[in-house]
Amino acid sequence: PLVSMRQLLDHAADNGYGIPAYNVNNLEQIQAVMAAASEVDAPVILQASAGARKYAGESFIKHLIQAALEAYPKVPLVMHQDHGQSPDVCKGAIDLGFTSVMMDGSLEADGKSIASYEYNVDVTKTVVDMAHRLGITVEGELGCLGSLETMRGDKEDGHGTEATMTRDQLLTDPEQAADFVKKTQLDALAIAIGTSHGAYKFSRKPTGDILAIERIKEIHRRIPNTHLVMHGSSSVPQDLLAEIRKYGGDMKETYGVPVEEIQEAIKHGVRKINIDTDIRLAMTAAIRKFFAENPSKFDPREYLKPAREAAKAICKQRYLQFGCEGQG
């Protein structure tokens, strides 16, 4: 059934696990997540970015998720708007039937310049006031996703800034987080701890200086009752990169967020873990391999099937690693 995000996150907090929130854009990705969740009895958060709504089209994204509910009636499912850039985008998502929205007020509505704290409070509170009346959950974001190696904000996929930033601007401040939660009354808070979107997060396996897991602990100590959200949380598996390279792909050396760091974060209040890139890598590796081995094939079903299987495998692995098994 379609459930509220708040309900799922409360349950995750009470039982000490974290829920991967998977970005979906098409049929095969939605099928992959649902099949994985149903095999391990996990709750599901499907999230659509503005780009996903544009790629699939509003009706398709809505009805594909509707189809997931119909095909898997027992799986608790949240339909979440990822990175809503304005109250209008969030309102559009709610009108489409989403049960949860992210108001990302860390950047101005252009998605490029860093917003003032007052702006962020204002737009987030506006969305909370509108959404809570309808039983919709709200995620906000404080701090700016970006790299502590380059001191640059994340601009990977159009919801980040290119500007050079200070460590203080990049990381979420625990005191400000407490004030933000108090003023906005949001349900879940996305924090910035040195992760960024996309495949190119770290130039080496991250250590505490560039992936600030300690900061999560400080924030959780200050606001223990607020569900925390980690964005940019793909682990960028080296075996998938190797597979992509082996079959003709061109991907530079890069490292993601190690699963064991996410597991540590789950012990300190992180309840929602956003993953998109790992699914992209898994599907791409499978499709490249298929074409390399089957140069004469051309039926999309033949290459989308292994891609869907690969996506399912990584989703299932994360459900197990984050403690979701049997929680659905």
Give the residue numbers marked as catalytic: 82
Helices 300-321, 259-266: inter-axial angle, 10-degree rounding? 50
Selected from 85, 106, 124, 147, the binder of Na ion by CB under 5 A is 106
Task: Look at residue 313 and give its three-state secondary structure.
Answer: helix
> CA 177 → CA 87, 191, 265, 271, distances in Å?
20, 9, 17, 16
Residues in 171-230 at the binding interface with Zn ion, rule: CB under 5 A: none
Residue nearest to Na ion (CB): 106
Near Na ion by CB under 5 A, which window of 30-38, 103-111, 128-136, 308-316? 103-111
Contact residue for ligand 13P among 140, 174, 198, 206 (CB under 6 A): 198
Compute the least distance from the CB of residue 272 to ligand G3H, in Å.
13
Q: How far is CA 243 from the centre of its chain?
A: 24
Residue 96 CB, nearest distance to ligand G3H (Å)? 16
Q: Is 82 in the site for ligand 13P (CB under 6 A)?
A: yes
Task: Tally the residues of the chain.
Answer: 328
Site mask for ligand 13P (CB under 6 A), range 176-195, x = bound: --------------------
* Angle in degrees, CA 195, 84, 315, rounded to 5: 55
Residue type, 212: A
Distance of closest approach, residue 159 Cβ to ligand G3H, in angstroms: 6
Which residue type does 70 have? Answer: E
Cα 155 to Cα 96: distance, rounded to the nearest angstrom: 27
H or E stretch including 243?
helix 238-246
Angle, vertex CA 197, rays to CA 191 and CA 201, nearest 5: 100
Q: Is 197 in the site for ligand 13P (CB under 6 A)?
A: yes
User: Pick from Zn ion, Na ion, ligand 13P, none: which does 277 bind, CB < 5 to 8 A by kind?
Assistant: ligand 13P
Instruction: By CB under 5 A, tell whether 231 contacts Zn ion.
Output: yes
* Site for Na ion contains 139 (CB under 5 A): no
Contact residues: ligand G3H, CB under 6 A: 23, 49, 51-52, 82-83, 157, 159, 197, 276
